[in-house]
């Protein structure tokens, strides 16, 4: 047994509060190196005859990737506190793993063991329950719909009359969104995420000038209030985009510093290197990247903190929004985000807080800052599998297993899954306009764990390269829409709405312990199972289900066909880029890897 490849550290994703009374404990070991593990556990204050009293519980091998096996158990400590260790079995070898190291025999002194001091309700990760059942739609307001052409300014050009650039305007507005809400309802959408709508100079609005005003190009506060009301009447949640890492060049406090230098009351709102301020390729003040038009805000300054927290509270209190998406969230200090959470949750207890972070995000997902982050590892792996075709099915499952095991389950259940956005090429373009691959990507998106998001127009087959190409005007002429692709997306959303296992009810497991060219995973709870099988190749493939379904009624959720398995080993033949979504009930406990 390789001791160097056995790892557990209390906290974060290795031991976390699963619900009010349950603790989830994980450990990882070298792949195929350990046969079984038992958790040794007990109350730290339960002793008899000078020895600590402990019990044992079998751990479940619930995941494996290229290097490691991942084991897990859920336990309910009677007094909400626990000391614990691990008894590992490999062939005839037995090893005991504790906080103080490895031993050949179990130690009867609990001070040697790992500790979870107390399950505090205040430390439970409490993302809003509604997010699990939400189907997001990202709208770039300037390009979704022009609902009030008579209010166009002189710089607005006719809808779709030119390729998008970083500086042109087509007149998209709030009224245009309102006019197409029924389209979103028909699609199955019940959550919209709007990129910034506050006063700004650009067409993307990530260079905020006034955080308390709607950009006049989009309409008025009354228009926005009506949008939220109309959305809520249709069961649609509304999430706004907050740019608190930086402001725009024409943000009045920054203009004041430009004008007055050391005499400005706002000097410490920013990070000047020296004065006077100047832009260029490398500005002499901190910015987002090195973009001179986006000076970085000093969120540790009390006045900046108050200003931004007032902004966050204002749009909830006055307009009843349901979520904040936080731009460049990783470059803002943690203490600000802790205060942000306290303020917005006080205003609306079930508000969704989503951070834009592209890397390991555990420090922000401890229950005191964000509810979720944008799941870019999912995006990257899906695109590598199906759009770029640079990784195999096995590599995809291994990589995504590593991601999933990096976070608690209740974090993964509400993570924000996307395959395209205003920052990336259109998914159809990424797939060289191969619709079969696009359909498979959406099949993954809407059957995977997490909260799925569709970028406007992707559902009808819009194309476009990187920014600004991915920001074309929405195509509303049905003659120019791919209605077959649209129907595919509608059906996937409908299936997820109907079968709650597809919407993060229950557990998740890749079937990647066997070598295969197929991506296969199951979602299960008790005896209920949904098995998703995806062929990411352009060749016909046969997948052998690695456990017996003999005698069970199997429902093909896509074709709505039912059949009873009468063989010990079921094989599924998949056409190139084909898939199956199979639902069934087991008569016994769910098999493990």
Catalytic residues: 327, 356
DSSP state of 491: H
d(CA 467, CA 106): 59
Structure tokens at 230: 């109309």
What b-and-e string marks burial along 342-371, b requiring 16 or more CB atoms within 10 Å of the CB? Answer: eebbebbeebbbbbbbeeebeebbbbebbb
d(CA 304, CA 294): 16
d(CA 449, CA 409): 10
Structure tokens at 371: 């509810």
d(CA 414, CA 416): 6
End-to-end CA distance of the chain: give it in Å, rounded. Answer: 20
- Which three-class secondary structure state does DSSP give residue 333? coil
Q: Are 327 and 321 in contact (CB under 8 A)?
A: no
Residue 186 has, within 13 A of its CA and on its CB side, a CA count of 7
Element at 62 (helix H, strand E) = strand 60-64
- Look at the block and give the residue holding tokens 């038009």: 293
Strand segments (E) across 249-351: 323-326
DSSP 334-386: HHHHHHHHHHHHHH-TT-EEEE---S--GGG-SSSS-SEEB-HHHHHHHIIII
d(CA 10, CA 262): 49
CA 338, 339, 340, 346 torsion: positive or negative?
positive
d(CA 14, CA 24): 8
> In DSSP terms, which residues pair with 373 in a beta bridge?
355
Backbone angles phi, psi at 508, to 5 degrees: -130, 145
């Amino acid at each position: 047994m390789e001791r160097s490849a056995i790892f557990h550290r209390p906290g974060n994703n290795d031991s976390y509060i699963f619900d009010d009374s349950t603790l989830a404990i994980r450990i990882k070991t070298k792949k195929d190196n350990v046969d079984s593990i038992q958790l040794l556990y007990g109350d730290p204050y339960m002793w008899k005859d000078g020895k600590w009293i402990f019990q044992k519980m079998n751990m479940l091998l619930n995941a494996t990737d290229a290097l490691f096996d991942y084991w897990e158990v859920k336990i309910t400590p009677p007094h909400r506190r626990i000391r614990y260790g691990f008894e590992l079995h490999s062939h005839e070898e037995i090893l005991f793993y504790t906080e103080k190291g490895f031993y050949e025999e179990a130690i009867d002194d609990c001070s040697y063991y790992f500790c979870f001091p107390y399950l505090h309700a205040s430390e439970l990760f409490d993302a809003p329950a509604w997010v699990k059942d939400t189907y997001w739609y990202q709208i770039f307001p300037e390009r979704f719909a022009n609902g009030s052409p008579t209010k166009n300014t002189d710089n607005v050009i006719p809808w779709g009359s030119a390729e998008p650039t970083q500086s042109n305007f087509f007149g998209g507005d709030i009224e245009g969104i309102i006019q197409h809400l029924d389209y979103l309802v028909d699609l199955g959408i019940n959550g919209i995420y709007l990129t910034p709508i506050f006063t700004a100079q650009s067409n993307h609005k990530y260079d905020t000038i006034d955080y308390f005003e709607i950009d006049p190009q989009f309409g008025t506060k009354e228009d926005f209030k009506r949008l939220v009301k109309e959305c809520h009447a249709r069961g649609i949640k509304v999430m706004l985009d907050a740019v608190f890492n930086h402001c725009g060049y024409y943000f009045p406090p920054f203009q004041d510093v430009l004008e007055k230098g050391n005499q400005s009351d706002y000097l410490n709102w920013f990070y000047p290197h020296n004065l006077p301020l100047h832009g260029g390729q490398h500005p002499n003040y901190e910015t987002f990247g090195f973009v001179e038009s986006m000076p970085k805000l000093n969120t540790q300054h009390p006045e900046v903190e108050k200003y931004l927290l007032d902004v966050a509270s204002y749009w909830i209190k006055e307009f009843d929004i349901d979520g904040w998406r936080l731009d460049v969230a990783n470059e803002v200090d943690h203490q600000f985000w802790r205060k942000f959470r306290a303020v917005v949750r006080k205003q609306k207890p079930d508000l969704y807080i989503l951070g834009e972070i592209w890397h390991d995000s555990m420090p922000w997902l401890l229950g005191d800052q964000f509810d979720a982050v944008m799941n870019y590892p999912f995006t990257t792996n899906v695109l590598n599998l199906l759009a770029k075709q640079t990784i195999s099915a096995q590599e995809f499952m291994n990589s995504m297993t590593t991601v999933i095991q990096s976070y608690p389950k209740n974090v993964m259940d509400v993570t924000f899954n996307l395959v395209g956005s205003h920052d990336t090429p259109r998914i159809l373009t990424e797939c060289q306009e191969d619709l079969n691959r696009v359909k498979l990507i959406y099949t993954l998106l809407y059957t995977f764990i997490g909260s799925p998001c569709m970028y406007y127009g992707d559902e009808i087959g819009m194309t476009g390269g990187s920014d600004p190409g991915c920001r074309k005007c929405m195509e509303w002429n049905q003659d120019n829409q791919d209605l077959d692709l649209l129907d595919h997306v509608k059906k996937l959303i409908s299936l997820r709405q109907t079968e709650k296992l597809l919407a993060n009810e229950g557990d998740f497991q890749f079937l990647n312990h066997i070598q295969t060219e197929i991506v296969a995973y199951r979602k299960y709870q008790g005896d209920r199972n949904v098995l998703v099988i995806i062929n990411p190749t352009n060749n016909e493939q046969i997948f052998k289900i690695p456990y017996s379904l003999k005698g069970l009624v199997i429902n093909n959720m896509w074709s709505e066909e039912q059949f009873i398995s009468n063989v010990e080993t079921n094989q599924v033949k998949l056409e190139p880029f084909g898939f199956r979504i199979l639902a069934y009930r087991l008569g016994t406990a769910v098999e493990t890897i």
